Amino acid sequence: MTVTDTYGTNTYTAQRLAGLLAERLPAAFAERESDYFGVYFLATLADTTRIKVQPNAIPGDDGEDDLLEDDYPDVSVLLIVTAPAGDQLLNTELAAIDGLTRLRSSRS
């Protein structure tokens, strides 16, 4: 089973949130850039958990930014965690970060 948790914040920039997570978790974030997502930060933990930090505003086809998460237009930065199973230690660390709110969780 894979669990995907999406968090949002207006407290941090994507770069600052990635740095804060790198201080708290055994994760090294790499800055990446794509035509679809723009600039984002990605880390993979030893258990194959993927942590992605990115702005909610992504480059649109018309030159204007689009929202990756239309349901949360007031959220500026997203944190997307995909893990093979629920990781209570990771969830506890994320819950301790001021200004970070879980938006949704899904299992597949």
**Per CATH, the architecture of 3-107 is what?**
2-Layer Sandwich (3.30)
For the chain, which residues make up each domain, given as ranges?
3-107
Q: CA dist 39 to 27, 33, 35, 77, 97, Å? A: 18, 4, 9, 12, 22
Q: How many CB atoms lie within 10 A of CB 24?
A: 12
Task: Give residue-wise pLDDT tens across range 38-83.
Answer: 899 999 987 788 999 999 998 888 878 889 999 999 999 999 999 8
Task: Give residue-wise pLDDT tens across range 2-44.
Answer: 889 999 999 999 999 999 999 998 889 999 999 888 899 999 9
Burial 47-66 (b: 16+ CB within 10 A, else e): eebebbbbbbbbbeeeeeee
Report pLDDT for 87: 66
